[in-house]
Copies of this chain bind each other. A is one copy, B any other.
């Protein structure tokens, strides 16, 4: 089977930077399958890239190489990493964007050498693409650099247990549909999600409420999200990353009305 390289960046496509990366990869690896994840990460938003990577990497076949470059520190002494974890391979800067890989129990990271001819501002093309190509062709991670024992790791904030069994969390991302995704996990039937004074029933799916109504439910990666059926919860409720939410057990009448 042809090797697979997925691409996640904040470069956009319109300037031709991603095209340069693709050219380098196709010049080095015969018949590689290049898979665009997205190039529309907000510029330099490491946190968003980390959460997106967490969502998709395990859906790809073992052996896939994930190129993950959101790199505000390019040109500084920050390390350039290659990582093997969970039978997948990763390249990206040492700024936490690779945390979903680094948090795997079998994660192994090396620091890539930066060749003398590499651009100071475009390691995506000159450092990470050649490393991704080498991994796709079967070079072991250990041959690409020296062991790097303490890479930068970012973690999703943990929910906090409160008084009377309540659980306090926060919104960690807003998706294209305006759904607000929290750090709380489900299923949570029989609970109610509070956003300030507003209370939202935890239902099973969008169509459990009429169009235009607000709801909370467990989304496809197992997290509780706030949605408006056929609308944007983020816009309607003014939700942003960091907005506090609280899960409380519903009183029995409320449960009954959504059972």
Contact = CB atoms under 8 A, between A and B. Distances in A.
A61 B206 contact: no
Contacts of A53: 16
Interface stretch (A26-34, A142-150, A159-167): A26-34
Contacts of A120: 204-205, 217
A249 to B, nearest CB: 22
Interface stretch (A72-80, A105-113, A190-198): A72-80
Contacts of A157: none
A156 interface: no
B206 A16 contact: no
Q: How large is the interface on A (under 10, 10 to 19, 20 to 34, 35 or more residues)?
A: 35 or more
Given A19-B38, A37-B16, A205 B74 contact: yes
A72 B61 CA distance: 29
Interface in A51-104: 52-53, 55-61, 64, 72-76
Interface stretch (A39-47, A133-141, A238-246): A39-47
Contacts of A170: none
Contacts of A6: 19, 22-23
A176 B173 CA distance: 22
